[in-house]
A = this chain, B = another copy of it.
Amino acid sequence: MAREEPVVQRPREAIVEAAIALFGKRGFAGTTMRDIASEVGVLPGSLYAHINSKETLLDEIVELGIESFLAIEEAIPKSAPVVERLRAAIKAHVAVAAENPGRSLVVFHQWRFLTEPNLTRALNKRRRYQQIFVRLVDEGIADGTLARTLDSKIAVFALLGALNWVPEWYSPAGHFNPVEVGEKLADILLEGLLPPRSPAGKR
């Protein structure tokens, strides 16, 4: 009985959600605290009862956002073949990106507006994330389950480029759900656009 009615959203969450959407659409520098306030439905000064500054708001979004991508490691089966692990990583990445396209756009592009020491911290997490894919590709090249002719850096850039583009076009209202998109992207990246070259091979 002492419990309150459950509110739809706590004010701080509403601010963060509005900031994610606006930073994603208009960028950090293109969004004003007044934009955020009017989206939330309060006056600009009132925001500062819940947050410290515009940049700490960005930092929180970017940092937690990258961490939600780093969490894909848990979706990678530990002792499966490289190709299977890579496929799982791609699908998990697409799931995160498609589940929250706005936040992903902020993670991929707005980190530039962080200042030190937040910038370095974010860049380090970003590097750790890339390393997940670099290690997988290197391992696959070494054991022959990926093409020997690959340059692993360029391969990872191609891979992450295709994956990081997802929030620019994915719509939950579209033909495919995130799982289907992940599978199709994994197929394209692993097998390429060309048809199967194996003689009468099943696929």
- Which of chain B's residues have a CB closer than 8 A to the CB of A163? 161
Per-residue 0/1 for A112-137: is the Cβ within 8 Å of any B Cβ (1 yes, 0 no)?
11000000000000000000000001
A192: chain B residues at CB < 8 Å are 147, 188-194
Contact A158 B29 (CB under 8 A): no
Q: From A184, which residue of chain B is reached at the shortest CB distance?
A: B154
Minimum CB–CB distance for A104 against chain B, Å:
13
Asked if A154 contacts B83 (CB within 8 A), the reply is no
How far does the alpha carbon of A29 sit from the alpha carbon of B30 in the complex, in Å?
5
Supposing A30-B28, A112-B26, A165-B164 touch, asked if A199 and B196 sit within 8 A by C-beta, the answer is: no
In contact, B83 and A194 (Cβ under 8 angstroms) = yes
Q: 0/1 per residue, A34-73, Cβ < 8 Å to B?
A: 0000000000000000000000000000000000000000
Number of interface residues of A (CB under 8 A): 55
A185–B159 CA distance with the chains assembled, in angstroms: 10
Q: Which of A137, A147, A148, A193 has the most CB of B within 10 A?
A: A193
- Asked if A16 lies at the interface with its beta carbon under 8 angstroms from chain B, I say no
B195 touching A196, Cβ below 8 Å? no
* Residue A96, interface by CB 8 Å: no
Given contacts A109-B109, A165-B157, contact A198 B195 (CB under 8 A): no
Inter-chain contact A158/B147, CB cutoff 8 Å: no
Q: Is A12 located at the chain interface by the 8 A CB criterion?
A: no
